[in-house]
Amino acid sequence: QQRLFELTERAADWYHDRLRTGPDAAAARSYLRGRGFDAEEVARYRIGWAPDGWDLMARSLKVSAADLEASGLGFTNKAGRLQDFFRARVLFPIFDERSRVIGFGGRKLPDTEGPKYQNSRDNVLYNKSKVLYGLNWAKADAVNHDEVVICEGYTDVIGFNRAGLARAVATCGTALTEEHVQQLKKFTRRLVLAYDADSAGQAA
């Protein structure tokens, strides 16, 4: 497990550096600027870019197939080659309560193919039924205000932080579970739902 934590940290650094310096990340940088992200926010949330190559990250980090698959960062494709799990996506590292990188949430750029969001699959480190994005930042403010705000996505959490509400967390593309609530009860018993106004948000 410790080796996998070291791998996800290295991957987060690699993706973040690619966003900041990669020529292929120009469209991603432009997209983030258009969404109001400045350099300080990109650094704080360690936002990254997964390039559109089959195995660029896997080859750069030189890790075993077993570790790549166990961490959810890659898999062996039908041709028997290692392949990156995330490709051509803006990446938001997902942290556990102790600020360790346990997974990633990927968003495709506008006018590109594929599902809008792609999250890490459940693996040794990451379980979507238990993970709350932003809990590592929100827990202190949740205790101070005896309240936590639960929203739908990464950018919602960041938006709440911009507005001065540091006690926001997000379920990572899944419904609010009993495990989520058990985690939050360690900090407060007052949970405020701030889901989207669309039908999916209201149903959730």
The pLDDT, as a whole number, for residue 121 is: 93
Three-state secondary structure string covering the chain? CHHHHHHHHHHHHHHHHHHHHCHHHHHHHHHHHHCCCCHHHHHHCCCEEECCCCCHHHHHHCCCHHHHHHCCCEEECCCCCEEECCCCEEEEEEECCCCCEEEEEEEECCCCCCCCEEECCCCCCCCCCCCEECHHHHHHHHHHHCCEEEECCHHHHHHHHHCCCCCEEEECCCCCCHHHHHHHCCCCCCEEECCCCCHHHHHC
The pLDDT, as a whole number, for residue 21 is: 97
pTM: 0.94
The pLDDT, as a whole number, for residue 201 is: 78
The pLDDT, as a whole number, for residue 173 is: 75
The pLDDT, as a whole number, for residue 93 is: 98
The pLDDT, as a whole number, for residue 30 is: 97
The pLDDT, as a whole number, for residue 128 is: 93
The pLDDT, as a whole number, for residue 101 is: 98
pLDDT mean by block of 10 residues, the chain; 204 residues: 96 98 97 95 97 94 93 93 95 97 96 92 94 97 98 94 97 89 96 89 78
